[in-house]
Amino acid sequence: MVIYTKEEQRFRGFEEFASLSSSVHRLHPAALLVTIVGFIIAISSYPYTAVSVLIPYCIFPVLLARFARIPLKPLITATVKVMPLIIMIGILQPFTDPVFFKVGSLSFSWGWIIFISLLVKAFLTILANFLLISILGIGGLQKAMKSLGIPPLFYLLFTMVYRYIMLLLEDIYRAMRAYEIRSGGNPKLRLQEWGTVPASILIRTYEQGLRIEQAMKLRGYDPAQPFGQVPRISFKDIAFILICISSFVMFRIFPISVLLGDMFITGFKALHG
């Protein structure tokens, strides 16, 4: 029987998105990585009370996903699912912040603004993160790291960990299911089995690792000569980076949402005398 754990489903989902064909997918992987890191830096550079000025940045993930032909819904769902971690940290703010502001006759802690700012920032940065891996996949990411001069030892290790996770997830799932059945439906390891059960999987894994290592060496594997050709960076890649980064800088300098709001207020006042 084929078993899919939720982690495997996540990996496979991203791999499937990365296998699509689009103009964004054809960009140099390093260009995409640099741009998304630029986006995250731009978001993180805002102070802890920024809220409305962050909204214009929503356009970037939306446009990127649309041009990459990746559906936004699963990415947004995945992003929302990891938000509780941020909520746990942020929810303390309103209760620890002694500074208040007034809306009409009601007083609110500034912590609420900090909390909302944290949520917006977390949402945008996590979504960008998921978009990066959805477009590049593990292969694209490896190429990006290679072209950015990361030592082969690291990105090969990264790729190997990723590939073996798929194998071991299934293995550990089977071992734990066998344990659960034999222990009368208890899925948690009892104290006396803390060592034996994981150690047996670990020893098996270790021996499997040694076998793979020997097989790789026998086939002439040399870590100093990593595989794969990385395409050269082209004009369109540089143009993509420049356009995106300059847009982030523009958004950082000109608060678009406030300017739009001003226009609305002025228009509203003009209409109602």
Binders of another protein among residues 155 to 184 (CB under 8 A) are 156-165, 167-169, 171-173, 176
Half-sphere exposure of 127 (CA within 13 A, CB side): 26
Token pair 């502001």 in the structure block, residue: 101
Dig out the tokens for 84 from the structure.
């509780």
CB of 238 to another protein, least distance (A): 21
> 209 or 231: whose CB is closer to another protein?
209
129 CB burial (10 A radius; 0-12, 13-18, 19+): middle
Distance, in Å, from the CA atom of 91 to the CA atom of 87, rounded to the nearest integer, reads 6
Among 87, 148, 202, 238, binds another protein (CB under 8 A): 202
Count CB atoms within 10 A of the CB of residue 31.
Answer: 20
> 98 or 273: whose CB is closer to another protein?
98
Stretch that binds another protein, among 63-71, 227-235, 239-247 (CB under 8 A): 63-71
* CA dihedral (109, 114, 115, 120) positive or negative: positive
Among 27, 30, 32, 141, binds another protein (CB under 8 A): 141
> 219 or 232: whose CB is closer to another protein?
219
> 69 or 236: whose CB is closer to another protein?
69
Question: Does 228 sit near another protein (CB under 8 A)?
Answer: no
Kindly write out the interface string for residues 18-47 of this chain, putting x where it contacts another protein by CB under 8 A and - elsewhere: -xxxx-------------xx--xx-xxx-x
Question: Does 75 sit near another protein (CB under 8 A)?
Answer: no
CB of 179 to another protein, least distance (A): 9
Q: Which strand (E) or helix (H) includes residue 113? A: helix 111-147
> 167 or 243: whose CB is closer to another protein?
167
Question: Does 212 sit near another protein (CB under 8 A)?
Answer: yes
Among 1, 84, 235, 253, binds another protein (CB under 8 A): 253
Chain positions 120 to 139 lying near another protein, rule: CB under 8 A, are: 121-122, 125-126, 129-130, 132-133
Question: Does 238 sit near another protein (CB under 8 A)?
Answer: no
Stretch that binds another protein, among 186-194, 232-240, 242-250 (CB under 8 A): 186-194
Number of residues that bind another protein (CB under 8 A): 129
Token pair 């830096």 in the structure block, residue: 41
Distance, in Å, from the CA atom of 75 to the CA atom of 128, rounded to the nearest integer, reads 9
Stretch that binds another protein, among 188-196, 231-239, 242-250 (CB under 8 A): 188-196
36 CB burial (10 A radius; 0-12, 13-18, 19+): buried
Comparing C-alpha atoms, which of 213, 210, 219, 228 is closest to residue 155?
228
CB of 52 to another protein, least distance (A): 4
